[in-house]
Amino acid sequence: VVGRRGTMPTLFLPLSRLARSGSGVGKLLARCTALHPPGGTGVSEKCQPAYRNLTSPAQLSTAGMSTSSADGDLTSWLWSVYNETKRQTEDLIPAISNNFVNPDTIFSNNEMSLQDIEIYGFDYDYTLAFYSSNLHTLIFNIARDILIQEHRYPEGLKEYEYIPDFVVRGLHYDVQKALLMKIDAFHYIQLGTVYRGLHPVSDKEVIAMYEGCHVPLEIMSDFYGKSSHGHTMKQFMDIFSLPEMTLLSCVNDYFMKHNIDYEPVHLYKDVKEAIGDVHVRGIMYRAVEADIEKYICYGEQTHAVLRKLSENGKKMFLITNSPLDFVDRGMNYIVGKDWRDLFDVVIVQADKPSFFNDRRKPFRRVTDKGVLLWDRIHHLEKGQIYKQGNLYEFLRLTGWRGSKVLYFGDHIYSDLADLTLKHGWRTGAIIPELRKEIKIMNTEEYVHTMTWLQSLTNLLEHMQVHRDAASQAVIQHWVKEREDMRSQAKDIFNPQFGSLFRTYHNPTYFSRRLSRFADIYMASISCLLNYDLQHTFYPRRTPLQHEAPFWPEQTSAGAMNIPFQSTRAGSE
């Protein structure tokens, strides 16, 4: 829920932070520690007063009880602790449910103040221009038909339509094995998320193929997520890749269903080429231009952001790989015919990420009719359009260097990585999927599942010290319940691949790179409307594994469930 005008939305407190704030969850975790202290016996005075100093059937037997009796008592005690923990967790869920995440929040990986930002840069596609799901259907259908008509793929592929919710961004594709999968930040495959075609591959088969779940560094994708120079994995990082992954899966499915022998490497290259042709030949651009209202969304919000920055005296520039006609048509729809007046520099067909690394390509000026001029560029002038070029020449001509520049893009590698690693610009990632995932996180089902999952995991961690057979049988019941709940939590986001950001408890490969290459991230550029241009973004301080889980600053307004004031655009 968005906060009232002039008020920043209330932010979300995860379970661990609620614990630190002294709330009911803190009492629950303190209670769990009392029930089963770390490194201790795990026996609570309240739950097991008669045997509080006894931890094993052998000790119970020494006290004059038979082993079977001791087993039974310890087993009963384990279940009593389980039931008490579950009861207290259930009691706290209503309170936890009120600590929601606002989908319009800007999240910070690195401390950054907008007061220091003088120049704002933008990508175009999925940054200034947001597209409806109709665009993915269009790309899928055109590329599928190119495969049939130009690459002589079977006519039967026409039976396949685009499946909007089949894949998520950030997946890896093993080109040689024709497998689509999700990999975590430590290069481990998340079992249950490996697909050949439209069907899952069994855990046993995955483990046999990869001799475990780990993917060695040498076969992972290269720095930009591509499968090149011997890398057999391709990572799909941009939003335009969703129809490409779906088409790969559908063609694989067709070949397997009809027992057709094929070379996976050829299939990957053909699909990649067909998807590329949709862009390179201008087919997609012409279709969008012909029915722009069908494809572009949220135009008014983008216009409001640009107007706000302009009214506050900020310089702005646009660097996009898209062609002039396409950008011009879209920006006319989003902003109006005078859209160029808002930008100090406009660069089209920049060929990112090469734009950020290749010093050889000079800028060329483009006329309104798309004619390329041959004169040398000595200045990047407002109102003019430039093509290609490179970042080094851009820096020389503008002097826009370092942390006074903030650039927004949706592709973590092509848009953001080089800028933050090599040039010191501040970076903002646009992650449209955030809005959907946060709404799921705010549901009672998700809160219930994750709260009990955390409590159960804590229970397992402390109770594993009981190594007798009877206790271990109880522990295995809990382990099975935990595994089932982890699968349920995955399915809430996407039945095939789960959340974009997590592989069970670990960050995904995508998420780790997001945290490295983006200072801030948000669902859309419109989130800037919730903040004044002096706002400082502070990353949440979460304890490292070896640090105590209590921080004095967790009691500040930023950590508690307390709204705070912030000037909104137009409310000064």
- Say whether 125 is catalytic: yes
Would you state the pLDDT for residue 328?
Answer: 94
- Furthest C-alpha separation in the chain: 99
Neighbouring C-beta atoms of residue 557, cutoff 10 Å: 9
pLDDT band at 443 (very low <50, low <70, confident <90, very high): very high
459/464 Cα distance (integer angstroms): 8
| pLDDT higher than 60, residue 565 | no
What's the sign of the alpha-carbon dihedral 311, 312, 313, 319?
negative
DSSP SS3 for 363: strand
Q: What's the pLDDT tens digit per position in 395-406?
A: 999 999 999 999
Q: Which of 71, 104, 123, 519 is catalytic?
A: 123
Which residues, listed in sequence order, are joined to residue 405 by a DSSP beta bridge?
A: 119
Residues 6+ apart with CB under 8 A from 338: none
Residues 6+ apart with CB under 8 A from 357: 390, 391, 418
Residue 285 has pLDDT above 60, yes or no: yes
* DSSP β-ladder status, 315-319 and 345-348: parallel
Given a cut of 80, whether residue 230 has pLDDT beyond it is no
Q: Which helix (H) or strand (E) holds 96?
A: helix 67-97
The answer to whether residue 571 scores a pLDDT higher than 70 is: no
Segment holding 408, helix H or strand E: strand 405-409
Q: Is 495 left (phi over 0), alpha (psi -120 to 50) or beta?
A: alpha
What pLDDT, on a 0 to 100 scale, did the predictor assign at position 326?
Answer: 94
328 is in an annotated binding site: no
Mention every residue, 6+ apart, whose C-beta is less than 8 A from residue 247. 140, 143, 144, 147, 271, 274, 275
Task: Give percent of the chain with pLDDT exceeding 90.
Answer: 70
- Confidence check: pLDDT of 122 > 50: yes
Average pLDDT, the chain: 84
pLDDT at 19 over 90: no
Query: How far is the first Cα of the chain from the last one, in angstroms, to the nearest whole number?
Result: 23
User: CA angle 35-41-43, nearest 5°?
Assistant: 40
The one-character DSSP state at 444 is H
d(CA 338, CA 281): 28
| Cα dist from 428 to 68, 406, 487, 527, whole Å | 62, 7, 31, 11
Check whether 18 has a pLDDT greater than 50. Answer: no
123 has catalytic annotation: yes
180 bridge partner residues: 173, 195
31, pLDDT greater than 60: no
- pLDDT top residue among 13 and 420: 420
φ/ψ of 291, rounded to 5, equals: -145, 65
Q: Grade residue 232 by pLDDT with cuts at 50, 70 and 90.
A: confident
pLDDT of residue 97: 78
Tokens of 150: 């130009």
Print burial letters for 108-133: b (CB count within 10 Å at least 16), e (below 16): bbeebebeebebbbbbbbbbbbbbee
Number of CB atoms found within 10 A of residue 518's CB: 26
Q: What length is written for the chain?
A: 572
Select which of 71, 73, 104, 125 is catalytic: 125
Percent of the chain with pLDDT over 70: 81
- Whether residue 553 is predicted with pLDDT greater than 60 in this model: the reply is no
Beta-carbon contacts of residue 64 (< 8 Å; ≥ 6 apart): none
Strand 405-409 relative to strand 119-122: parallel, antiparallel, unpaired? parallel
CA–CA gap between residue 475 and residue 467 (Å, rounded): 9
CA dist 542 and 3 (Å) reads 25
CB 53 within 8 A of CB 43: yes
Query: Mean per-residue pLDDT for 196-223?
Result: 90
Look at residue 251 and tell me whether its pLDDT is greater than 90.
yes
Query: What pLDDT is attached to residue 15?
Result: 39
Closest CA to 177 of 209, 222, 211, 138: 209
Q: Is residue 88 within a helix (H) or strand (E), and if so which, with residue range? A: helix 67-97
Which range is least confidently modeled, 52-61, 64-73, 198-207, 379-388? 52-61
Calpha distance 152→150 (Å, rounded): 6
Instruction: Say whether 172 sits in a helix, a strand or coil.
Output: strand
